[in-house]
A and B are shown apart, each in its own frame.
Chain A
């Protein structure tokens, strides 16, 4: 491994999809001397453990405008990275089982269409066409977003890593940031044990450890770490075409190009930082699959794993410079952070590299709870 540098234009903490996307966008803008430091292994964070679902449309305009940008960016990644990230817009269906969520989806659809997204509420015959295997008895309404889809995380991260290495970004995995130095109120360097790296800017993309990174710099950031779990089923020939979110059952899944149905759900647990799995998620997810896609009944579960997130109190991302600690930036609070990485990387690179704060980033400012207030978003699969 190459030795750690002593100074950097930007030190990025965390080499998950957020950190690598920011590094890629900064490098593409021409910045040199970028350093990415990650305590774990490449693909070891949530970025290598997620459901890989991507969609443009949500219930709030703030989320929707951010994720429209992200879908537009995803479409360009294979070309810009020089590697196939396998983004496929095979569609994303948000399924409602209750009147309240159906009404919410109707309203969101109108807003999304106004913004130019190809989303619509499916007619009964269309539901059968698109989702022939779904249990119609459980479905009240389906909102379908044609531009949504999936991108396998191993492909996206492979493309990002290859680009960064090629452009001279220094990537150091299994290397942990243990301190952040503050000079005259500004974050000015990071410490890795007794090694110091002087930093023009520091961008924390440390996932569940973002609150710890803030604390290392003597400040606080909203939110808490949480563990969520997912599982993969034994491969079968294609049964489920689009990506699917069950807005009332709090589950999301899709069938990969290897044939595995991959997805997860949420059960209320004591928040905990660990990669261990537990029984309730597996059982609950199986129950949901069986009710929604009865044909999955005899299919076997291959593996079940956990990943960790940094959830903000309104579940919306926290993007931008810390108001109390100039020089320390965050791409944090992500629960849809795989989908959101292309947009976040672009916007943060613009902010750090050119000082331009894009209007699509502003609503997600770290101090929104004291200024504009939390972002109310009802279209996410989280509670």
Chain B
């Protein structure tokens, strides 16, 4: 490095932060010791990127609100600021909301009995509410409002998910001489497996690779699958596949305990992304829990230079303590000091695409068998692992961080006799935010089942809908005219 070169920096709430080549914004911030990226919408709890929910990873980037910090590269000069604060991130009065009792905000501001009920006073209250709920302003007016022309791709075989299984499946199709496209969210295929230190099969160059792209919608029994680059500015794609393979793997479900939203809690994907891919130290003292994979994960984190102070089963976790970040966990009555908790299980497959491709209904969309052209492979085929709900659940555990829905709020309706997931969703807004129901509906169904002595699968899932924020208006506008209405 020459003497004149300076390390590139970004700005976070006006402060300068050094970045390392290849960093995502989330990696750069966490490396610099920034642990609160966002605030929850009702109680303004501190949130950061956890992997399980996107809401903690949203900030305004160069004026563009709701940008995912884990998916955006930290280029020199990038200006990042926290949303959902007023008047500003430095001096934020909204943080006072944290002192409100949780109960007061069950149902949200919207349903609150605090609201005046009609006329002008309600209109004023509504405007205030809208301002507070809106999180951030839209992009500045100078934005060039052009549609981003979409692409239309016909392939013999579409593979969704670029893990080792997806790569092997794509290679097999390519070897058979058929056209094949592979869609993966990662910057490279098999990101998670690579970060976990596994051997990765090499992708056949004949495979049409769509990286940093999310497949978010399946339509007309799979005649059409929609995908869009995660940056919000690349061309969206209409795939017309002969066959579809879902190699979408599984994610680890956040524990349903007090403090589960705190910065410092990571799922295995996010934790390894920071620790392995970006070489960021997650914290000084790391606890690892899981349903079997915690031992291997702990070993990997030790290899990456972390001090692991606890390794144990996910169901043994009683609570997570801390105000602005994890400070300790409680396991079987024992308090273990740590500033980071990484969970590797219970593992469950994302039901969204399968539901969209299969579900049909007149009164309600109900899940059904996948169309014949669709197959699941790899971890996505494994049975969902049960989500542990403690016998005495802690009401402050967050079920849906996007909409700030606690376990207590859910129980208030369940205990009043409301056992229909679609209605629980509408009464609480659980699953109606950034993540659109994944993983929070799995947690919600686990709570419902535990409370009513039933099984989660006894209850019909709320409808999983596309595109769960995977496409912008400009990207979607570029699809107009590409697909003929079904006549």
Contacts and interface: CB of A to CB of B under 8 A. Distances in A.
A381 B21 CA distance: 52
A152 B145 CA distance: 30
A301 B130 contact: no
Contact of B232 (A43, A133, A300, A302): A300
A163 to B, nearest CB: 14
Interface stretch (A25-33, A60-68, A195-203, A285-293): A285-293
Interface residues of B, number: 81
Contact of B423 (A43, A257, A267, A295): A43
B385 interface: no
A106 B115 CA distance: 37
A107 interface: no
A133 B145 CA distance: 12
A89 B476 CA distance: 31
Contacts of A239: 137-138
A137 to B, nearest CB: 11
A283 B473 contact: no
B462 to A, nearest CB: 10
A40 B144 CA distance: 44
B359 to A, nearest CB: 8
Interface of B is mostly: loop
A45 B422 CA distance: 12
Nearest to A233: B473
Nearest to B437: A303
A355 interface: no
A298 B471 contact: no
Interface string A78-96: 1100001111111000000
A356 interface: no
Interface string A214-252: 000000000000000000011111110000000000000
B232 to A, nearest CB: 6
A375 interface: no
Contacts of B117: 78-79, 84-85
A88 B426 contact: no
B134 A297 contact: no
A236 B135 contact: yes
B118 A75 contact: yes
Nearest to B236: A283
A257 B110 contact: yes
B486 A270 contact: yes
B39 to A, nearest CB: 14
Contact of B483 (A90, A283, A302): A283
A283 B236 CA distance: 11
Interface stretch (A116-124, A274-282, A311-319): A274-282
Given A236-B134, A300-B471, A270 B465 contact: no
Contacts of B147: 286-287, 290
Find the residue from B117, B434, B479 having the highest chain A CB count within 10 A: B117
Contact of B468 (A133, A302, A308): A302
B123 A89 contact: yes
B477 interface: yes
Contact of A284 (B65, B470, B480): B480
B472 to A, nearest CB: 5
A300 B336 CA distance: 41
Given A84-B122, A234-B66, A280-B483, A275 B133 contact: no
A208 B363 CA distance: 10
B468 A270 contact: no
Interface string A122-154: 000000000001010000000000000000101
A217 to B, nearest CB: 20
Nearest to A82: B117
A299 interface: yes
Contacts of B360: 274-276
A259 to B, nearest CB: 3
A186 to B, nearest CB: 29
Nearest to A241: B127
B199 interface: no
B10 interface: no
Contacts of A44: 363-364, 422
A158 B134 contact: no
A236 B422 CA distance: 25
A40 B478 CA distance: 36
A257 B130 contact: yes
A135 B143 CA distance: 12
Contacts of B486: 269-270, 278, 280
A45 to B, nearest CB: 8
B365 interface: yes
B134 A235 contact: yes
A237 B226 contact: no
Interface in A294-340: 294-305, 308
B364 A152 contact: no
16 contacts: A41-B363, A41-B422, A79-B117, A86-B122, A89-B123, A259-B134, A275-B463, A276-B360, A280-B483, A282-B466, A282-B479, A286-B147, A295-B140, A299-B66, A303-B466, A305-B463
Given A257-B130, A268-B485, A297-B139, 18 more contacts: A78-B118, A84-B115, A84-B118, A154-B427, A155-B110, A255-B130, A257-B110, A259-B130, A275-B365, A278-B486, A290-B473, A294-B144, A298-B138, A298-B472, A298-B474, A300-B471, A300-B473, A304-B466
Those 4 A-B pairs whose CB atoms lie nearest each other, nearest first = A294-B145, A259-B134, A286-B476, A40-B363
Interface of A: 39-45, 48, 75, 78-79, 84-90, 133, 135, 152, 154-155, 158, 174, 208, 233-239, 255-259, 267-270, 273-280, 282-287, 289-291, 294-305, 308
Interface of B: 64-66, 108, 110-111, 113, 115-118, 122-123, 126-127, 129-131, 133-141, 143-147, 150, 217, 219-220, 224, 226, 232-233, 238, 359-365, 420, 422-423, 426-427, 432-434, 436, 463, 465-487
